[in-house]
Amino acid sequence: MTASPKLAPEPTRRKAFSVSPASLAVLLFAVAIAATGQIMLKHGMTQAAAASKDQGRSLALAAGLNVWVLAGLLVFAVSALAWLLTLSRVPLNVAYPFNALGYLGILAASAIFLHERVNVSTVIGSAMVVCGLIIVVTLGPSQSP
């Protein structure tokens, strides 16, 4: 009886990690709703600070009575649940760079809705964030099959 030759193991090919459309949708929803919550909280806290000063009460009480603050906290809680769902489906090193999109959303919304000023260095920095996100997503983590 002759021994059959042992075959060398086939080299494993690395393939890029792919995110399902449903997981991507939950991830983008989590980021968008978190950004929305932040804008609502900022708007509410601006109102609460003014009310606190005008009415001579504590900022904590004014914030606790402000509908924008309360709604922002609720929206932020929903975003936390969506983020937890995302983490159960997508590796953190893939999911976390998408938080940069939230930064960009907040930057745009603060300029549009809160009338905050945006300067050139902020725009340049934001462009760098977008470039970084593109690099991470396109050249990012790979997983063996």
Q: For residue 62, tell me if it sits in a domain.
A: yes
Query: Whole-prediction pTM value?
Result: 0.77
Q: For residue 82, tell me if it sits in a domain.
A: yes
Q: Which amino acid is at 93?
A: N
Domain count, the chain: 1
Q: For residue 85, tell me if it sits in a domain.
A: yes
Task: For residue 48, give both structure tokens.
Answer: 């609460």
Task: For residue 117, give both structure tokens.
Answer: 């000023």
33-55 confidence digits (pLDDT tens): 999 999 999 999 999 999 999 99
Rounded to whole angstroms, the Cα distance separating 108 from 114 reads 10
Q: What is the pLDDT of residue 141?
A: 58
Q: For residue 3, tell me if it sits in a domain.
A: no
Helix (H) or strand (E) holding 15: strand 15-16
Q: For residue 1, tell me if it sits in a domain.
A: no
Q: For residue 73, tell me if it sits in a domain.
A: yes
Is there a contact between 103 and 129 (Cβ–Cβ < 8 Å)?
yes
Q: What is the pLDDT of residue 14?
A: 47
Q: For residue 11, tell me if it sits in a domain.
A: no
Is there a contact between 68 and 51 (Cβ–Cβ < 8 Å)?
no
Which residues form the domain of 26?
Answer: 21-140
2-26 confidence digits (pLDDT tens): 555 566 555 554 445 578 899 999 9
Neighbours of 75 (CB within 10 A): 19
89-110 confidence digits (pLDDT tens): 998 888 888 888 888 899 999 9
51-90 confidence digits (pLDDT tens): 999 998 899 999 999 999 999 999 999 999 999 999 999 9
Q: For residue 116, tell me if it sits in a domain.
A: yes
